[in-house]
A and B are shown apart, each in its own frame.
Chain A
Amino acid sequence: MAAQPGQPTAEPAPENPLTAGLERLPVAPTTLVIFGATGDLARRKLLPALYNLAHEGALPERFHLVGVSRKEKARERYRAECEEAIRTYSRRTPDEDVLKKLLQHVRYVPGVFDDDSVYSELGKVLDGFEERAGEPLNRAFYLSTAPEFFPVIVEQLGRSKLQHHENAEVRVIIEKPFGTTLEEARELNRDVLAIFDETQVFRIDHYLGKETVQNMLAFRFANGMFEPLWNRNYIDSVQITASEDLGVGTRAGYYDHAGALRDLIQNHMLQLLCHVAMEPPGSFTAEEVRNEKVKVLNAIPEPTPADIAEMSVRAQYAAGHVGGEDVRGYLQEDGVPNTSTTETFAAIRLKVDNWRWAGVPFYIRTGKRLARKVTEIAVTLKPVPHLAFSQDGSLGVQPNQLVLTLQPNEGVSLRLGAKIPGTRMIIRPVNMEFLYGTAFLSQSPEAYERLITDAMRGDATLFTRNDEVEAQWRICDPIVAAWAKQPGPLAQYEAGSQGPAEADSLLLEGQRWRAI
Chain B
Amino acid sequence: MPRSDAVWSAQGTTPDQIEAALRALLAERHAESASFIPARVLNMIAFVDDEYSGEIANRLRGVGRYAASRLLVLSYEPGRERLDARATIASDADPTPGQVALLRETVIVRLGDRHLDDLLTIADPLVVTDLPTLLWSPHGHPDAVDALLSLAQATLLDSIEEPDRSQAGQRAAIDRAYELSQQVYVVDLAWLRSTPWRERVATVFDPIPMRRELHSLDAVTVRHHPDSRVAALLLVGWLASRLGWSLARSEVIAEGSDGRLCGSAQAESGEVRLTLKPAPDLQVPGLAGVELTSAAGLRVRLDREPGGLRAHRRDPGGRDRTWTLLGASRGEGGILGEGIRQALLRDPTYGAALAATQEMLPRVTQT
The answer to whether the Cβ of A133 comes within 8 Å of any Cβ in the partner chain is: yes
Which residues of chain A are within 8 angstroms of B3 by Cβ–Cβ distance? Answer: none
Which applies to chain A's interface (DSSP): helix, strand, loop or mixed?
A: loop
| Interface membership of A441, Cβ < 8 A | yes
Q: In the complex, identify which listed stretch (B182-190, B220-228, B307-315) lies at the interface while the others stay far away.
A: B307-315
Q: A13-B211, A438-B102 are in contact. Are A55 and B41 (CB under 8 A)?
A: no
Q: Are A408 and B98 in contact (CB under 8 A)?
A: yes
Mark interface residues in A1-14 (1 if CB within 8 Å of B CB, else 0): 11111110100011
Determine whether A63 belongs to the interface, using a CB cutoff of 8 Å to chain B.
Answer: yes
Which of B76-84, B150-158, B319-327, B356-364 contacts its partner? B319-327
**Residues of chain B with a CB closer than 8 A to A28's CB:** 206-207
Taking the complex as formed, is A485 at the interface, i.e. its CB lies under 8 A from any CB of chain B? no
Residues in B neighbouring A408, C-beta threshold 8 A: 98-99
Residue pair A441, B341 in contact (C-beta under 8 Å): yes
Tell me the nearest residue of chain A to B315, going by C-beta.
A5
Name the residue of chain B whose CB is nearest to the CB of A102.
B326
Residue among B40, B201, B306, B323 making CB contact with A133, cutoff 8 Å = B323
Residues of B within 8 A of A14 (CB): 208, 211-212, 215
Q: Which residue of the partner chain, among A95, A98, A101, A134, contacts B319 with CB atoms under 8 Å?
A: A134
Are A16 and B211 closer than 8 Å at their CB atoms? Answer: yes
How far does the alpha carbon of A101 sit from the alpha carbon of B216 in the complex, in Å?
33
Those of A18-72 within 8 Å (CB) of chain B: 18-24, 26-29, 54-57, 59-63
The proximity string for B residues 130-168 relative to A, scoring 1 for CB distances below 8 Å and 0 otherwise, is 000000000000000000000000000000000000000
Fill in one digit per residue for A307-326: 1 if any B CB lies within 8 Å of its CB, else 0. 00000000000000000000
Q: With an 8 A cutoff between CB atoms, is B202 at the interface? A: yes
Interface presence of B210 (CB below 8 A): yes
Chain A min CB distance to B308 (Å): 6
* Contact-size category for B: 35 or more
B196 / chain A contacts, CB cutoff of 8 Å: 57
Instruction: Tell whether, in the assembled complex, residue A95 and residue B328 are in contact, meaning their CB atoms are under 8 Å apart.
Output: yes
Q: Is B21 an interface residue (CB 8 A)?
A: no
- Which of A2, A59, A60, A440 makes the CB contact (< 8 A) with B212? A2
Are A17 and B325 in touch, CB under 8 angstroms? no
**With A5-B298, A18-B205, A24-B199 as contacts: A59 and B37 at CB distance below 8 Å:** no
Q: Chain B residues near A437 (CB, 8 Å)? A: 37, 39, 100, 102
Which of A1, A5, A18, A442 touches B207 (beta carbons < 8 Å)?
Answer: A5
Known: A24-B199, A95-B328, A408-B98. A15 touches B211 (CB 8 A): yes
Known: A101-B308, A134-B319, A408-B99. A59 touches B210 (CB 8 A): no
Contact present for B298 and A19 (CB under 8 Å): no
Closest chain A CB from B13 CB (angstroms): 28
Tell me if B100 and A409 are in contact (CB < 8 A): yes
Q: Does A225 contact B (CB under 8 A)?
A: no
Residues of B within 8 A of A257 (CB): none
Bound state CA distance, A17 and B348, in angstroms?
13
Known contacts A57-B308, A101-B324, A408-B98; A438 and B41 CB within 8 A of each other: yes
Supposing A2-B213, A18-B205, A26-B203 touch, asked if A95 and B307 sit within 8 A by C-beta, the answer is: yes
A97 within 8 A of B: yes
**Least distance between B39 CB and chain A CB atoms (Å):** 5
Residues of chain B lying within 8 A (CB to CB) of residue A54: 326-327
**Residue B20 at the A interface, CB < 8 A?**
no
A10 to B41, CA, bound (A): 49
Asked if B74 is at the interface of the complex by the 8 Å CB criterion, the answer is no
Using known A-B contacts A17-B243, A59-B326, A98-B328, determine if residue A2 contacts B216 with beta carbons closer than 8 Å: yes
- The complex places the Cα of A27 from the Cα of B67 at a distance, in Å, of 30
Q: Which of A2, A5, A27 has the most CB of B within 10 A?
A: A5
Task: Kindly provide the distance from the CB of B297 to the nearest chain A CB, expressed in whole angstroms.
Answer: 9
Contacts A133-B321, A435-B100 given; indicate if A57 touches B205 (C-beta within 8 A): no
Asked if B209 is at the interface (CB within 8 A of a chain A CB), the reply is yes
Expressed in whole angstroms, the minimum distance between the Cβ of A270 and any Cβ of chain B is 27
Q: Please report the C-alpha to C-alpha distance between residue A28 and residue B88 in the assembled complex, in whole angstroms.
A: 48
A441 to chain B, nearest CB (A): 5
* Cβ–Cβ < 8 Å partners of A159 in chain B: none
Interface presence of A77 (CB below 8 A): no
Least Cβ–Cβ distance between B99 and chain A, in angstroms: 7
Contact of A100 among B208, B307, B350 (CB under 8 A): B307
A439 at the interface (CB under 8 A from B): yes
Query: Are A441's CB and B41's CB within 8 A?
Result: yes
Among B207, B242, B347, the most chain A Cβ lie within 10 Å of the Cβ of B207
Complex Cα distance, B308 from A102, in Å, reads 10
List B contacts of A441 (CB < 8 A): 41-42, 65-67, 340-341, 344
CA–CA, A22 and B206, complex, Å: 13
Chain B residues with CB under 8 A of A438: 37-41, 69, 100, 102
Say if the beta carbon of A372 comes within 8 Å of chain B: yes
Contact with B along A95-122 (1 / 0, CB 8 A): 1011011100000000000000000000
B212–A3 touching, CB < 8 Å:
yes
**Alpha-carbon gap, A102 to B37, bound state (A):** 39
Flag if A18 contacts B321 (CB, 8 Å): no
Whether A57 and B102, one on each chain, are in contact in the complex, defined by CB atoms closer than 8 angstroms, is: no
**B349 on the A face (CB < 8 A):** yes
The yes or no answer to A443 lying at the interface (CB within 8 A) is: yes
Which one of A28, A54, A59, A97 has the highest number of Cβ atoms from chain B below 10 Å of its Cβ? A97
**Does residue B296 face the partner (Cβ distance < 8 Å to A)?**
yes
Distance in Å from the Cβ of B245 to the closest Cβ of chain A?
Answer: 11
Residues of B near A15 (CB, < 8 A) are 211
A18 touching B214, Cβ below 8 Å: yes
Q: Are A17's CB and B242's CB within 8 A?
A: yes
- B70 CB to nearest chain A CB (Å): 12
Q: Which of B19-63 contact A (CB under 8 A)?
A: 37-42
The answer to whether A61 and B204 touch across the interface, beta carbons within 8 angstroms, is yes
Residues B325 and A5 in contact, CB atoms below 8 Å apart: no
Q: Given the complex, which residues of B lie within 8 Å of A97, measured CB to CB?
A: 306-308, 328
Instruction: Known A61-B311, A441-B341; judge A16-B206 contact (CB<8 A).
Output: yes
Minimum Cβ distance to chain B for residue A49 (Å): 14
B260 at the interface (CB under 8 A from A): no
Q: Point out the residue from A17, A18, A61 that lies within 8 Å of B323, measured CB to CB.
A: A61
Q: Are B348 and A57 in contact (CB under 8 A)?
A: no
Residue B200 at the A interface, CB < 8 A? yes
Q: Which of B215, B316, B325, B345 lies in contact with A57, CB distance below 8 A?
A: B325
Instruction: List 23 A-B residue pairs with CB atoms under 8 Å apart, sorted by A's residue number.
Output: A4-B316, A6-B207, A6-B315, A16-B202, A16-B211, A17-B214, A18-B198, A18-B206, A18-B239, A21-B348, A21-B350, A23-B345, A59-B326, A61-B325, A63-B326, A97-B307, A97-B328, A98-B307, A98-B328, A100-B307, A101-B307, A438-B69, A441-B340
Q: A26-B203, A134-B315 are in contact. List 18 more A-B contacts (CB 8 A).
A: A1-B296, A2-B316, A4-B317, A14-B208, A16-B211, A19-B206, A54-B326, A57-B325, A57-B327, A61-B204, A63-B326, A97-B308, A133-B321, A372-B98, A409-B98, A438-B37, A438-B38, A439-B41
- On A, residues with C-beta under 8 Å from B are 1-7, 9, 13-24, 26-29, 54-57, 59-63, 95, 97-98, 100-102, 133-135, 372, 408-409, 435, 437-443
The 4 A-B residue pairs with the shortest CB-CB distance, nearest first, are A57-B327, A97-B307, A21-B349, A18-B202
